[in-house]
Amino acid sequence: MMDSLEYILISDTESIDDDQQQICTTSYDLAANDVKTIIQPQDNETASEKSEKEYTNLEQSPKRTIGRKKSRNPYKCNKCKFSSKVEAKLLKHEINHSKEYLFRCTMCEKRFRIKSYCDRHISSHKGERNHTCPVCKKFFTTKANCQRHMENHKEAAGPGNGYCHSAAHSNLTEEKDGIKIKNEHGAPPKVIKTKKIDRERMIDIAAMEENNKKENTYESRNFNSKRTLDGSEKNNGNKNTEQGADDFGSFFATIDMLSKGPLNLENGIDVPRLDDFEFNLNNEKVITSKSSAFEIVVDKEGKCNKNYQRVSKQNTSGAALDGNHLDKTPGISKYFLGKDKQAEGGKFDANEFSISNDSILTSSVQNSNGSNASEKQKAEQKQKPKLSSISVENFDMKILNDSFLVPSKFDKPERTDTRIVSPTQTEGKDSIFENKFEAKTIKRKTKKEKQQKVGIGKENVSNKNDVRQLSFPGPFPKKMEQPVRTQFWDHNNLIRKILVWNPVWFDEYEKLKTTPPDISKDVNHLLTAYESRKDYFITVLPHLILETWESCIQEWQILKGKRPVTKCVFCNRNDTDISKFSHAYFTVKDHSFKKDDVLILRSSTGDGKYKASLCYIEDITNKLLNIIKSIPTSCHADNQGSSAEKCDTALKLQLKSSHFEMFPSSKKIESTLEFVHSLKDVLSIYDGLATSFETQLIRHVLKPGNIDIFKSISTEHKERDLNVLVNENDFNAIQRTAILNTADMILERNIRNRVCLIRRPFGTGKTDILIGIIKAVFQKEIEMNTLLKKRNELTSQISEERLEKDVLLQGNVICGTFKSFGEQLYLNVLSSVKNNCRKSIFTCMIMDEAQQASELETLLPLQYGPSKLIMAGDPEQLAPTVKSKISRDKSFGQSLFERFCDHFRFQGDKNTVLVLKTQYRSHQEIAKFPSEMFYGRHLDTHRYLI
Partner DNA sequence: CAGCAGGGGGCGC
Partner DNA sequence: CGCCCCCTGCTGG
Using CB under 7 A as the criterion, which residues of the chain lie in contact with DNA when the complex forms? 27-34, 56-61, 63-66, 69, 80, 82, 84, 88-89, 91-93, 96, 110, 112-117, 119-121, 124, 129, 138, 140-145, 147-149, 152, 167, 185, 246, 317, 320, 322, 324, 328, 443
Q: How far apart are CA 413 and CA 107, in angstroms?
A: 10
Backbone phi and psi for residue 910, each to the nearest 5 degrees, phi listed first: -100, 130
Residue 57 or 727 with smaller CB distance to DNA: 57
Q: Are 27 and 111 in contact (CB under 8 A)?
A: yes
Would you give the distance in Å from CA 292 to the centre of its chain? Answer: 36
Q: How far apart are CA 272 and CA 885, in angstroms?
A: 28
> What is the smallest separation between the CB atom of 327 and DNA, expressed in angstroms?
11
State the helix-helix crossing angle for 218-228 and 387-401, rounded to 10 degrees: 130
Residue 84 or 753 with smaller CB distance to DNA: 84
> What is the smallest separation between the CB atom of 127 and DNA, expressed in angstroms?
7
> What is the smallest separation between the CB atom of 135 and DNA, expressed in angstroms?
11
> What is the smallest separation between the CB atom of 571 and DNA, expressed in angstroms?
45
Residue 115 or 478 with smaller CB distance to DNA: 115
Burial (CB count within 10 angstroms: exposed 0-12, middle 13-18, buried 19+), residue 651: buried
Coil/strand/helix, residue 920: coil
Residue 130 or 539 with smaller CB distance to DNA: 130
Largest CA distance in the chain: 113
- The 8-class DSSP code of residue 725 comes to I
Q: How far apart are CA 683 and CA 704, in angstroms?
A: 26
Residue 373 or 757 with smaller CB distance to DNA: 373
> What is the smallest separation between the CB atom of 176 and DNA, expressed in angstroms?
17
Residues 6+ apart with CB under 8 A from 465: 408
Which stretches does DSSP call E strand in 294-442?
A: 296-299, 304-305, 311-314, 334-338
Residue 82 or 506 with smaller CB distance to DNA: 82
Q: Are 381 and 237 in contact (CB under 8 A)?
A: no
> What is the smallest separation between the CB atom of 238 and DNA, expressed in angstroms?
15
Sign of the alpha-carbon torsion through 733, 735, 736, 740: positive
Q: How many C-beta atoms surround the C-beta of residue 767 within 10 A? A: 10
Measured at the alpha carbon of residue 528, what is the angle toward residues 525 and 534, in degrees to the nearest 5? 75
* Three-class secondary structure assignment of 546-598: HHHHHHHHHHHHHCCCCCCEEEEEEEEEECCCCCCCEEEEEEECCCCCCCCEE
Residue 167 or 529 with smaller CB distance to DNA: 167
Q: How far apart are CA 593 and CA 584, in angstroms?
A: 16
- Per DSSP bridges, beta strands 940-941 and 918-919 are parallel
Sign of the alpha-carbon torsion through 572, 574, 578, 581: negative
Sign of the alpha-carbon torsion through 171, 174, 179, 184: negative
Residue 126 or 313 with smaller CB distance to DNA: 126
Q: Which residue type, as a one-letter code, is found at position 462?
A: S
> What is the smallest separation between the CB atom of 382 and DNA, expressed in angstroms?
17
> What is the smallest separation between the CB atom of 319 and DNA, expressed in angstroms?
7
Measured at the alpha carbon of residue 736, what is the angle toward residues 734 and 739, in degrees to the nearest 5? 110
Residues 6+ apart with CB under 8 A from 334: 127, 254, 255, 256, 257, 258, 313, 314, 315, 316, 317
